[in-house]
Chains A and B, each alone.
Chain A
Amino acid sequence: MSVTTALIVAFVYVVIYNLDNLWLSWQCLSRPIVIAPVAGLFLGDFRTGIIMGAGLESIFMGISAIGGSIPADPTTASIVAVAYAITSGGDMETGLAIALPIGTLMTSFSGILMPFFSSLAAYWEKLATSGNIKNFTWQVIVVGNCQTLISGAILFVGLAYGVSGLSSLLGSLPAWVLTGLGAATSMMLAVGFAILTSMIWSGEIGIFFFVGYILARFVGLGSLQIALLGAAIAITMFFSEKRIIDLKNSLDSSASASKGDDFF
């Protein structure tokens, strides 16, 4: 694929991805049915883009099957398949086959970088509580949008120069680095939960943390079901607390009333 085409593809990918996931949070424009026509428009064959969008959307929704394995990321796969079809007149299956290794590489690289971007969480907290919220806001937006540039660069290099260079770069990393970064990523959520739990924990009701844990882990209930059970407990608790408050109020008033009697 020519360097110009690869550049256009990477550009469309970054712009649509950021607009859809970071600026609108719709997760709608990066679906095949939207991104394929957009890619077609930029590559000079709008109609092919639209028609391929329909086919690709059916594949990724599981409506129509296709031989072989399907790339995990519909956005990358669709855009590469459309670019391939328009520039070399190939069919959708070949385009998807080209997209597969590129998509895998993009996933691997973002997996490697995720723990580093996640480590910024501590920096974000510091910045948010520094008193200068404008500074926090623009830094979050700039860093968030720049993260996509890495995937865009991999997409560009993969299309223009092939995936072998990137694969060997990835292969030169020792295996323990990849395993370690993966393990760190999956344990990092514990930090977020530890901060949250330590803020709302109190000894008197701490046991309910474990009730929720057991319902999710052992009983396998979904969060809506657990929330309904929790609401039942909370409502019962609310009314028993209400009774105590009412009782306390009536005791107070009768106490003050009897005090009044003594006085007079």
Chain B
Amino acid sequence: MAKTVLSAKEKSILHSMFLRSHLVFTAFTMVKMEANAFTISMAPAIEDLYKDDPQGKIEAYRRHQNFFNTHAVPLSFIVGLSYAMEKEHVENGSVDGKTIESIKAALMGPTAGMFDSIFFNCLRVIAAGIAIGLCSEGNILGTLIFILLYGVTQSITKYYFVNWGYIYGTSFIDTVFSSGLMNALIKSASVLGLMMVGAMSASFVNVPLNWVISVGQTSVNVGEIFDSIFPGLLGIMLLFFLIWLIKKGARPTQLVLGILAFGLLGALIHIF
């Protein structure tokens, strides 16, 4: 792979993306989690790449408004990589929107687990161990060391991750593109992406049905019956019902408000 030399414009876009990728949990929602932060982080790249293509710009924003969730640090890497993929999408058209989504979906689950272990379970514990010793003697140095080891390191890592995501993403895409294997990559990426979405749905999507039907002396919990047929069956049914509604042209507003109304009505008639 040839060494990629960044232009001044790319450097300033990546710098802006690095700063914006700190807003990970701003306006976090239970519908799309970190999607707002991802959109804000991608904005400098999208504004530049699609400046002459308003329709493409809207499509790109829609892509990066999708559900996203990972640890705060690897978000930067995926943002940088998405910039590389969007650039390829605009310049050569070989990477389609679906592939960009698949690769994002494939990366968010495993990176979340990996970086939780590295930062939260390892680095934080080491930093706190040092800091507690100093602070218990009334030395503020302990707190400063904690911030340096556990906080500042996250930003330093993010800085490199945004750049690496872009540089290695670009050179990887170039290699695949020049060898004519882009279609093979697109297909295998979508397999991995869809598999990870399935895995995440299993742990995230949940219908808390608690509907007990009493017949004479005995009572039956409907939720448990569904779970005994196929664990999480109700969640899958809800998910595919919503997908069907989306295919029929339902707007996200209608879906979200529908779920809210369904939850309240369900609780009123005691099925939750």
Q: Could you tell me if A205 and B194 are in contact, using CB atoms closer than 8 angstroms?
A: yes
State the Cβ distance, A124 to closest chain B Cβ, in Å. Answer: 6
Assembled-state Cα–Cα distance A194/B194 (Å): 12
Q: How far is the CA of A233 from the CA of B263 in the complex (A)?
A: 39
**Which chain A residues lie closer than 8 Å to B132 at the CB level?**
33, 54, 57-58, 63
Closest to A209 in B: B198
Q: Is the CB of B62 within 8 A of A118?
A: no
User: Please, how many angstroms separate the alpha-carbon atoms of A253 and B265 in the complex?
Assistant: 65
By a CB distance below 8 angstroms, the chain B residues around A129 are: 58, 61-62, 65
Interface string of A201-238 (1 = CB under 8 A from B): 11001101111110111100111101100110111011
Is the pair A194, B135 in contact by a Cβ cutoff of 8 Å? no
- Please state if A196 and B197 are interface contacts (CB–CB under 8 Å): yes
The answer to whether B198 touches A121 (Cβ under 8 A) is: no
Query: How far, in whole Å, are A80 and B205 apart by their CA atoms in the complex?
Result: 35
Within 8 A of A (CB), among B108-139: 109-110, 112-114, 120, 124-125, 128, 131-139
Within 8 A of B (CB), among A226-261: 226-227, 230-231, 233-235, 237-239, 241-242, 245, 249
Total contacts A-B at CB 8 Å = 390
Q: Could you say which residues of chain B place their CB within 8 Å of the CB of A230?
A: 106, 191-192, 195-196
Cross-chain contact A33 with B135 (CB below 8 angstroms): yes
- Return the contact of A124 from the options B23, B65, B128, B266 (Cβ within 8 A): B65
Q: Are B67 and A51 in contact (CB under 8 A)?
A: no
Interface residues of chain A: helix, strand, loop or mixed (majority): helix
A197 CB → nearest B CB, Å: 6
- Tell me if B171 is interfacial: C-beta within 8 Å of chain A: no
Min CB–CB distance B84 → chain A (angstroms)? 19
Cβ of A224: which chain B residues have Cβ within 8 Å of it?
109-110, 113-114
Contact status of A55 and B136, CB under 8 A, knowing A117-B29, A141-B23, A184-B262: yes
Which of B4-12, B162-170, B181-189, B212-220 touches A? B181-189
Residue among A194, A212, A238 facing the most chain B CB atoms (10 A cut-off): A194
B233-256 interface (Cβ within 8 A of A): 235-236, 238-240, 242-243, 245-247, 251-253, 255-256
The range of chain B's interface size is 35 or more
CA distance A190 to B30 in the complex (A): 9
Contacts of B236 in A (CB 8 A): 213
Contacts of A226 in B (CB 8 A): 109-110, 195-196, 199
Q: What distance in Å separates the Cβ of A42 from its nearest Cβ neighbour in chain B?
A: 14
- Whether B47 pairs with A133 at a CB distance below 8 angstroms is yes
Choose one: A118, A199, A200; the contact of B30 (CB below 8 Å).
Answer: A118
CB distance from A232 to the nearest CB of B (A): 10
User: Nearest residue in A to B253 (C-beta to C-beta)?
Assistant: A122
Cβ-defined contact, B184 with A238, below 8 A = yes
A15 at the interface (CB under 8 A from B): no
- Min CB gap A176→B, angstroms: 4
Which residue of B193, B247, B260, B270 is within 8 Å of A119 (Cβ)? B260
Known: A34-B146, A128-B61, A201-B243. A22 touches B195 (CB 8 A): no
- Interface, chain A (partner B; CB < 8 A): 21-29, 31, 33-34, 37, 46-47, 50-51, 53-55, 57-58, 61, 63, 114-115, 117-126, 128-129, 131, 133, 136-137, 140-141, 143-145, 147, 176-177, 179-202, 205-206, 208-213, 215-218, 221-224, 226-227, 230-231, 233-235, 237-239, 241-242, 245, 249
Of the A-B pairs whose beta carbons lie under 8 Å apart in the complex, a sample of 21, sorted by A's number, is: A27-B120, A53-B142, A57-B135, A63-B132, A118-B256, A126-B252, A128-B62, A133-B46, A133-B61, A137-B43, A181-B263, A184-B263, A185-B30, A191-B259, A193-B67, A193-B204, A193-B239, A212-B195, A213-B232, A237-B191, A245-B184
- Additional A-B contact list (20), CB under 8 Å, known A133-B43, A190-B235: A25-B24, A25-B37, A33-B128, A54-B142, A61-B125, A61-B128, A120-B29, A122-B253, A124-B32, A144-B28, A182-B272, A184-B264, A193-B205, A197-B201, A200-B193, A206-B194, A209-B201, A215-B195, A234-B192, A242-B184
